[in-house]
Chains A and B, each alone.
Chain A
């Protein structure tokens, strides 16, 4: 097994799928000659050339739509559209929500939509309000879209390969701060199915649910809790829509307590939906209401101290766990 950074794992997934299927191509701002704003597409332009690794103008709505149009022709094109960050993909939300998400349904199944929109999501470090948004709830809200949020190199590679091969529009959300994180990735091919979660750490006293960057925060909290004799199970849904409800409910039925950690805003978040499902489907198994830790309900400030205050932290998760444990 090789040890790869997340950016390298994503790069491998793209390269392997491009190798395997000539209809797969990637486009986005700076993906070709610059090798990607975050170096995710390093070397792809050299290897696959202008036709398949395409630098776009800064025109998110336009190239998202061109990707959608190319995908729905049904003649074997599977675009990967890189969004430099999801903050900028907001310009393309009309294309993604009004067009990609609905074409199949409105045409009574005539159109397939084999397209992946991918890029970093969520606050990074001191980038200010317009560049620090976790937007998974906005896309997860929309029927017709699949939303995937990997947290390890292994997951990122297997999930992205599954996303590229899927016939639905997939929103694939990464994180700038995680691209350098390393982990083992098998040499042989593997896919991680859409909608399949993963237990990142087993435990018995409380379930902590987290994805992308927040998995590390949850694991750190679990370490702290262990010192106090509390055994936390950390689970990562990996796909936010459709949700691995089975895994979530099984874990909560075992631990009877749950804390959800997300760096999106609290209002109408994915965590809100997860909490609702737990409350309605595992009500009798719960010993406490589900708690949620989010970023502060404000646009992200620039100042380092305020940003730190706004973000979820292991300490905040520990406190929430103690609350559901009535400690």
Chain B
């Protein structure tokens, strides 16, 4: 009886186009983000990184699950300042990302952008924006452009839940639906905008219903679960690609660290944080991959070692790289 059950058992992603290879890549991508961000925090403490530094730790599944569902080259990604993890998930090199944090010319934005402004046009990674609510219309504009040119590309736009209180967010949703733009808004609801819990800043309880006023396809997804993210994004991407319609997806997630490096996080309880850490998106996925016989403990251990080495190398590369030459100060103000 037991044997039989085992035989007929299918993983919950059986209906998705997820090969073992792809699943493993998603796992590694999440782990890379975690280790990269942990190291960023350390380097920030040493004064190697300046300014603001917003870590993605805890939210890895949201970004990796969503980006894994995209095409590799001709889809576009927009996000706010919490952008390191998404850049890595898009396949941007850890070396270039770390060098950007260090303000070095070898960085992804040549040291000009900094933590909040990672870009790689060749990968459709459109950044990296610092004004809360500023970038969603740009993402809609990207969708407008690809539709205009008759391409079947889609644009995905990550944003914090607090940015949905900005007026321009609503202007954007309206036009995206009105003009049927192939854009997916992924609202990363981590419960807080800086020190303000969502309930203190937003009227109404159901974030995703903000899209209801525009009759946009919408829903909530467990953003701590990389498979669920992938599933919902696949549906939304299909809708965008084949029907040219937007989607608003609320990804329920949590950030394990402070808003930025200077935030002691006194606005939330230790218990709340611990509760969420029990749902650590990387640990839970690791367990599942082991249970499904896709990975072994030893393999996971080995990945971690390899990734730590890669992050080490990224730090060494960033450290050894030169600052941008002074002539660059006046470059690129105009075309």
Interface set of A (CB-CB < 8 Å, partner B): 29-30, 33-34, 37, 55-59, 61-62, 87-88, 90-91, 125-131, 296-299, 301-306, 309-310
Contact = CB atoms under 8 A, between A and B. Distances in A.
Contact of B196 (A55, A61, A130, A301): A55
A90 B130 CA distance: 13
Interface in B179-203: 193-196, 200-202
Interface in B90-146: 103-105, 109, 111-117, 129-134
Interface in B294-335: 323-324, 326, 328-330, 333
B87 to A, nearest CB: 15
Contacts of A303: 103-105, 111-112, 114, 323-324
Q: Is the interface of A mostly helix, strand, loop or mixed?
A: loop
Contact of B51 (A56, A61, A91, A125): A125
Q: Is the interface of B mostly helix, strand, loop or mixed?
A: loop
B167 A128 contact: no
B233 to A, nearest CB: 26
B73 interface: no
A179 to B, nearest CB: 13
Nearest to A94: B167
B52 interface: yes
Interface stretch (B22-30, B158-166, B222-230, B272-280): B158-166
A29 B112 CA distance: 28
B129 A58 contact: no
B194 A309 contact: no
Contact of B113 (A59, A128, A296): A128
B50 A125 contact: yes
Interface in B150-179: 162-163, 165-168
Contact of A131 (B52, B168, B328): B52
Nearest to B331: A298
Contacts of B165: 57-59, 62
A130 B324 contact: no
Given A34-B194, A58-B201, A127-B51, A298 B131 contact: no
A302 B131 contact: no
B112 A301 contact: yes
Contacts of B324: 301, 303, 305-306
B195 A30 contact: yes
B13 interface: no
Nearest to B166: A59
B46 to A, nearest CB: 14
Nearest to B110: A303
A169 B313 CA distance: 54
Nearest to A306: B329
B129 A130 contact: yes
Q: Which of A33, A55, A58 has the most CB of B within 10 A?
A: A58
Contact of B114 (A57, A297, A302, A310): A302
Given A58-B166, A302-B114, A304-B50, A310 B329 contact: yes
Interface in B30-77: 50-52
A127 B49 CA distance: 11
B48 to A, nearest CB: 10
B267 interface: yes
B103 A304 contact: yes
A306 B328 contact: yes
A88 B163 CA distance: 12
A305 B114 contact: no
Q: Which of A90, A125, A297, A303 has the most CB of B within 10 A?
A: A303
A310 B165 CA distance: 35
Contacts of B117: 128-130, 302
Interface in B219-276: 267
Contact of B166 (A91, A126, A128, A306): A91
B334 to A, nearest CB: 10
B329 A301 contact: yes
B153 to A, nearest CB: 26
A61 B167 contact: yes
Contacts of A57: 162, 165, 193, 196, 201-202
A35 to B, nearest CB: 9
A29 B329 contact: no
